[in-house]
Amino acid sequence: MATFTRLSSGSWRVQVRRKGRYVAETFVRHDHAREWATEAESQIDRGRAPVGNRARGTKTFGDLIDMHIDDMKDVGKPPGRSKSATLEMLHRELGAFKVSELDREKLIKFGRARSKQGAGPVTLSMDIGAIRLAFSHAIAVHGIELSVEPVDMARIALKRLGLVGKSNERDRRPTEDEIDRLLMRFELRSNCPEIPMARVMKFAIATAMRQEEIFRVTWSDFDKPTKMLTIRDRKDPRQKKGNDQEIPLLAVSGYDALALIEEQSLQRKDGDDRIFPYNHKSAGANFTRACQALEIENLHFHDLRHEGTSRLFEAGLAIQQVALVTGHKDWKMLKRYTHLKASSLHKFFEGKIA
């Protein structure tokens, strides 16, 4: 049975109690409240969960996206920059379709079009995943009667067509010759006098830190007596912010991280508390230009993190010890960094014998 109450705001509060179930919603107009109550009672009689007022107005896929974003903001977990960009693109490309119209065929057509626009298998996989997320969120949170089967079938079809897939694990490590040539070029300081790229390179290998992290840490995060450095808001797919981590400043990878910071203190700038007070994008661009000038192919700045992590293993550190430096929460992820050089075994056993 439905009960209607006029609120002080002028809106109508409707409460439905039926077969042990209780649901309530608020409406501006009385006729809308009565219409919803009738439908809610019918849903309960058929053994289904009544759909809320917001969900009743959901007609298009764009509505599903908006509802998902609003819900996540309400619980303090708004989509990050990358996810927001994906959702905005989906809203633009598919938002006008009615939810019932967004079937397997249309999703496959969307995937083909995205591929022609240049989206690779990994990007398209993320797009399809975001579509499924919007569907499943509406089903689970709002009780909207939908099916994710069309999305799943479209993913299978796009995978068979080679348009959806996983990224290949990158295993590029710079050779000793490549590192020496890059350091020599940077130490001449002819192409980037404002950024001490040689020191940055060595620090990246010594700490296995990401490019953005290197140019974000501050002197306040550095504790010289304990030889520790705190990295704020470290990247973590499960925790976007507040993931601070202390790492030890070691000297086992061929470069001394603590000594490099002490060298950098001579270039400390007033008004900027960052240890490396430079633009990380400019550093990345300098690294890329240097590789091109030296005809070093397929080497990225991020590969220095790979190199540093691999050197930690080559120095004899166990996987749990390496994770304390790199910040990996899932030890399985570290397997991709264990592309060790066979020659490193000599150094390892020499150290054991000594």
**Is residue 331 included in any domain, yes or no?**
yes
Q: Which of residues 129, 160, 191 is at a domain's end?
A: 160
What are the Cα distances from residue 43, in Å, to 9, 49, 64? 29, 6, 21
Structural domain total, the chain = 3
- Determine the pLDDT at residue 142: 76
**Is residue 168 included in any domain, yes or no?**
no
**Is residue 305 included in any domain, yes or no?**
yes
Tell me, yes or no, whether 198 and 280 share the same domain. yes
SS3 sequence, 42-107? HHHHCCCCCCCHHHHCCCEHHHHHHHHHHHHHHCCCCCCHHHHHHHHHHHHHHCCCEHHHCCHHHH
- Ordered per-residue pLDDT tens for the chain, 354 residues: 788 888 888 878 777 777 777 666 676 778 877 876 777 677 666 766 555 555 556 789 998 999 899 888 888 888 888 899 999 999 999 999 998 899 999 999 999 999 999 988 989 999 999 999 999 988 887 777 788 999 999 999 999 999 998 766 677 899 999 999 999 999 886 555 689 999 999 999 999 999 999 999 999 999 999 999 999 988 765 555 668 899 999 999 999 999 999 999 988 888 899 999 999 999 999 999 999 999 999 999 999 999 999 999 889 888 889 999 988 877 667 776 665 556 555 555 565 544
**Is residue 147 included in any domain, yes or no?**
yes
Tell me, yes or no, whether 88 and 218 share the same domain. no
Closest CA to 306 of 230, 185, 210: 210
- Determine the pLDDT at residue 354: 47
Tell me, yes or no, whether 151 and 99 share the same domain. yes
Closest CA to 84 of 25, 37, 130, 147: 130
The pair of structure tokens assigned to 232 is 């704020």
Tell me, yes or no, whether 148 and 295 share the same domain. no
| Cα 259–Cα 260–Cα 265 angle in degrees, nearest 5 | 95
Q: What is the pTM of this model?
A: 0.60
Tell me, yes or no, whether 268 and 206 share the same domain. yes
**Is residue 166 included in any domain, yes or no?**
no
